[in-house]
Amino acid sequence: MRLEVRQLSFSYTDQQILRNLSFSVEDGEFVSILGPSGCGKSTLLNVLAGILQPLGGEILIDGEEKKEISGSFAYMPQNDLLLPWKTILDNVCLYGEIHHRKAQMKEQARAQMARFGLQGCENKYPGELSGGMRQRAAFLRTTLCEAGIYLLDEPFGALDVITRGDMQDWLANLSSSLKKTILLVTHDTDEAIYLSDRILILGAPGEGIREEIRITEKNRTREWLYGQGEMRLKIHRIIKEKQRNGNEKEE
């Protein structure tokens, strides 16, 4: 599915966060939104997911304007939002419950538990798990959705470095085999370089997209990533430049 955002604007009462923002994500493309904390990344995903109402602009899916909360999006918010009174298995299968295919989804979920480091956790409650495990459960729930476009808000932020690397590899595999359209929000430059077809670097709130970087390497390994010093430096400079010229506000 193709996502297109046209002239999107959004304000909280005291601050304009998005101003005439336009970009698109092609069918099957992996795009990362990279930017410093507080620049409006989570706000953008909330507007796309329909949780926040834009001031203006259009969101198009395969060329059609999206008006309401759309089943085309699988949204993984920055905070995992697992329901504390449901077991991990029930949390993970929440969308199956909504769409009346819970039994089938439970089977799929059980098969994926080990891969997400959640084996033996089926009948535990979110409060009994570490932050990283909860994040992985929320991620598993998102991937079990049959939506065409994934909106992922710092899905690996709460994980330890080793698990994060494993999950990035896993997502890289998943995205190349399933051909999903993915919009990933991150403040981790290496993560964006490793996973994306394209990186959009956001400026200060209201500033919009500062630069777009396309990455064409097909055969990505950790060694390849560690050799990307020049790209990393370029991105670092763009982000720094923004902080110097832009809004100095700290989160």
Ligand X SMILES: Nc1ncnc2c1ncn2[C@@H]1O[C@H](COP(=O)(O)OP(=O)(O)O)[C@@H](O)[C@H]1O
Measured CA to CA, the distance from residue 230 to residue 234 in angstroms comes to 6
By a kind-dependent CB cut-off of 5 to 8 A, residue 43 interacts, out of ligand X, Mg ion, none, with: ligand X
Residue 188 · residue 232 · CB < 8 Å:
no
Strand, coil or helix: what is 6?
strand
Q: Which of 200, 171, 172 is nearest to 186 (CA)?
A: 200
Please list the alpha-helical segments (H only) found in 19-160: 41-49, 88-92, 94-98, 102-112, 131-143
Only one residue has tokens 């476009």, namely 149
CB of 231 to ligand X, least distance (A): 21
List Cα–Cα distances, 111 to 9, 114, 153, 192, 227, in angstroms.
41, 7, 25, 28, 36
Q: Note whether 39 binds ligand X by CB under 6 A.
A: yes
Q: Note whether 42 binds Mg ion by CB under 5 A.
A: yes
Buried b (16+ CB within 10 A) or exposed e, 137-158: bbbbbbbbbebbbbbbbbbbbb
Q: Which stretch binds Mg ion (CB under 5 A): 19-27, 58-66, 74-82, 212-220?
A: 74-82
CB of 77 to Mg ion, least distance (A): 9
By a kind-dependent CB cut-off of 5 to 8 A, residue 136 interacts, out of Mg ion, ligand X, none, with: none
- From candidates 7, 37, 123, 173, binder to ligand X by CB under 6 A: 37
Name residues contacting ligand X, limited to 197-226 (CB under 6 A): 205
Q: Which stretch binds Mg ion (CB under 5 A): 41-49, 135-143, 176-184, 202-210?
A: 41-49
End-to-end CA distance of the chain: 34
- From candidates 32, 42, 142, 189, binder to ligand X by CB under 6 A: 42
Total site size for Mg ion, rule CB under 5 A: 3
Q: Note whether 239 binds ligand X by CB under 6 A.
A: no
Q: Note whether 143 binds Mg ion by CB under 5 A.
A: no
What residues line the site for Mg ion (CB under 5 A)?
41-42, 78
Binding site for ligand X (CB under 6 A): 12, 15, 17, 35, 37-43, 205, 251
